[in-house]
Structure 1
Amino acid sequence: MLRRTFVKNLSAAAGVAALGGLSRVTAAPPKNTFKLRYAPHLGMFDNLGGKDLYKQIEFMADQGFRALEDNGMTGRPAEEQTKMGDLLNKLGMEMGVFVLHKGGNGANTLAAGKKEHLDIFLKGCQNAIEVAKRCRTKYTTVVPGDFQRNLPMGIQTGNVIDALRRGAEMLEPHGLIMVLEPLSDTPDLYLRTSDQTYEICRAVNSPSCKILFDIYHMQKNEGHIIPHIDWAWNEIGYFQMGDNPGRNEPGSGEINYQNIFKHIYKKMKATNRDFIFGMEHGISVGGAEGEKKLIEAYKWADNFTV
């Protein structure tokens, strides 16, 4: 069974240490602190942190951010991936998700059940293992692709489950988790709600297949955010956010992020779990002032009492 295999392979190497046997160092405390591990993207602090990506990461650490996201990590040279991972480790930060390119994201669809699409996905999984070792992460984003109008929904779901089981078998020995992201970008996408994703994760039955719960997308597709988080809790492996409308920083739209973060924080403490929260959004104001506003938005959203 996949879950037993996972436990066996990781019993001697806790968590992300299984990715190349890397150990973490303890960095000096940041100037600011947050209760939750928010993860900015490179480019969010071009004005305050400078254009150099390593200086940006250092700036993020100084502001109290304890993680980083980089969707395009697979497109970076191997030496750059390694250097970024080493710097994050030195600063006491963690690498969050990168998108598993070459594997079911836009170029193909797992719902179709075609061998050529499965082959692309599995090749992407193999590549993701090597990328994850270099940049020191255990998360990669997977999007199964488009809905197939010529197939019944149950058949599509079976095709997706079969493909993800194959991927999970590859990822488990390396401690790498593919987080499935339901999206609101277009109704042509197969995966759209958290309960649908929950059902698939339960069927795959692997610790290497979990939900990426993007609060922005789920607000658009299903609403009722806190109950949906509770219902899907056991299969959630990662969070992302953006306010709606606009997909910008917390406080720029209708979502009460302070209440949502408070709820997640309390639930984390009660269940002994932890998450990275990817800042998968834009900034409502341009320039350095917008970047300052972004930092203040997270200070506000994180300023809850429990």
Structure 2
Amino acid sequence: MPRFAANLSMLFTEVPFLDRFERAAMAGFEAVEFLFPYAWSAHEIRQKLDQNGLKPVLFNLPPGDWDGGERGIACHPDRIEEFRAGVTQAVEYARVLGVHQLHCVAGKRLAGVDEATHRRTYVENLRHAAAELKKANLRLLIEPINHFDIPGFYLNGTKQAIEILDEVGADNLLLQYDIYHAQRTEGELAATMQRLLPRIGHMQLADNPGRNEPGSGEINYAFLFGHIDRIGYDGWIGCEYKPAGRTEDGLGWRQRLAQ
């Protein structure tokens, strides 16, 4: 049976962030992920994890001005020093929190910057980040995101992502496969998961349309959860969806679809 981690940046959002850990534990989750921990001290978050018996499985490198609309800076040639400082900060948080993998948000393409410069910057930044994370025994992840939700996002599909992984050439750099984003850009979910399984370090889910709970849309999650078990994926699946109502009221999908 798949193992599900609550994404605390999407679930239980009616309460402050530090209160979401208790809510996740009470809802039966054993693990959590979140976008960014940097507004709180690492020790505050670690205390909440320990108090509620939760395992942290993932968070992101600093993304630039997220509230201002930035979605990562890894492909931005004018932000390399800021990116590398963020890697150092994220590794320190990971050490305190006990997280073993971090996601690098690629960023949006910049007007006036050509494709070769975007790619060269992204690859060089990933090489640096992977090397720094490897010193700390951490894995680095990259995630293709659909161009409907984030127009102009640099990394859009698994083919491009695998090419980037190969070019970087780091053995601790893996793919974060988000089922929702993949459905919106490519489809072929089951075959792609099976083909790329050795390159996948983490999975996430939501249904389409609407990015709501599994079972609310067109994706056959009952089949996919069985398929994920059959192909041997043994990592966590992050629940990165928008609850249609109160989070707890929509969690019945775990029993209906993931048996």
**What TM-score, normalized to structure 1?**
0.74
Q: For the residues of structure 1 that align with 2:216 and 2:254, how far apart are their CA atoms?
A: 11
1:280 aligns with 2:243: no
Residue matched to 2:102:
140
Q: For the residues of structure 2 that align with 1:232 and 1:149, how far apart are their CA atoms?
A: 32
Residues 230, 164 of structure 1: alpha-carbon distance in 2 compared, 3 angstrom cutoff: same
1:172 aligns with 2:139: no
| TM-superposition CA deviations, 1:226-281 (whole Å, max 9, x none) | 1221232221111111000000110011001111111111111xxxx521111101
Residue matched to 2:256:
300
Aligned-residue sequence identity (percent) comes to: 28
Q: Which amino acid aligns with 2:56?
A: M
How far the C-alpha of 1:148 sits from its partner, in A, is 4.4
In the comparison of the two structures, how many residue pairs are matched? 253
Q: For the residues of structure 1 that align with 2:106 and 2:12, how far apart are their CA atoms?
A: 31
Q: For the residues of structure 2 that align with 1:155 and 1:52, how far apart are their CA atoms?
A: 40
Q: For the residues of structure 2 that align with 1:58 and 1:256, how far apart are their CA atoms?
A: 30
Residues 237, 72 of structure 1: alpha-carbon distance in 2 compared, 3 angstrom cutoff: same
1:158 aligns with 2:114: no
Secondary structure of 2:253's counterpart equals helix
Secondary structure of 1:84's counterpart equals helix
Residues 55, 101 of structure 1: alpha-carbon distance in 2 compared, 3 angstrom cutoff: closer
Secondary structure of 1:192's counterpart equals coil
Residue matched to 1:73:
37
Match of 2:248 among 284, 291, 295: 291
How far the C-alpha of 1:52 sits from its partner, in A, is 7.3
Residue matched to 1:41:
7
Q: Do the aligned residues in 2 keep the contact of 1:182 with 1:191 (CA within 8 Å)?
A: yes
Q: For the residues of structure 1 that align with 2:152 and 2:37, how far apart are their CA atoms?
A: 26
Secondary structure of 1:40's counterpart equals strand
How far the C-alpha of 1:302 sits from its partner, in A, is 0.7
Q: For the residues of structure 1 that align with 2:139 and 2:65, how far apart are their CA atoms?
A: 15
How far the C-alpha of 1:122 sits from its partner, in A, is 1.1
1:210-249 alignment, distance < 5 Å: 210-249=174-213
Q: Do the aligned residues in 2 keep the contact of 1:195 with 1:232 (CA within 8 Å)?
A: no
Secondary structure of 1:97's counterpart equals strand
The RMSD of aligned alpha carbons is: 2.5
Secondary structure of 1:75's counterpart equals coil
| TM-superposition CA deviations, 1:270-294 (whole Å, max 9, x none) | xxx521111101112x23xx523x2
Residue matched to 1:199:
163
Greater radius of gyration (CA): 1
Residues 108, 239 of structure 1: alpha-carbon distance in 2 compared, 3 angstrom cutoff: closer
Q: Which amino acid aligns with 1:96?
A: V
Residues 296, 128 of structure 1: alpha-carbon distance in 2 compared, 3 angstrom cutoff: same
| TM-superposition CA deviations, 1:139-192 (whole Å, max 9, x none) | 222111122464554553333212100111111011222211111223311100
Secondary structure of 2:127's counterpart equals helix
Q: Do the aligned residues in 2 keep the contact of 1:104 with 1:144 (CA within 8 Å)?
A: no
Q: For the residues of structure 2 that align with 1:152 and 1:58, how far apart are their CA atoms?
A: 46
Greater strand proportion:
2
Greater helix proportion:
1
Q: For the residues of structure 2 that align with 1:197 and 1:275, how far apart are their CA atoms?
A: 19
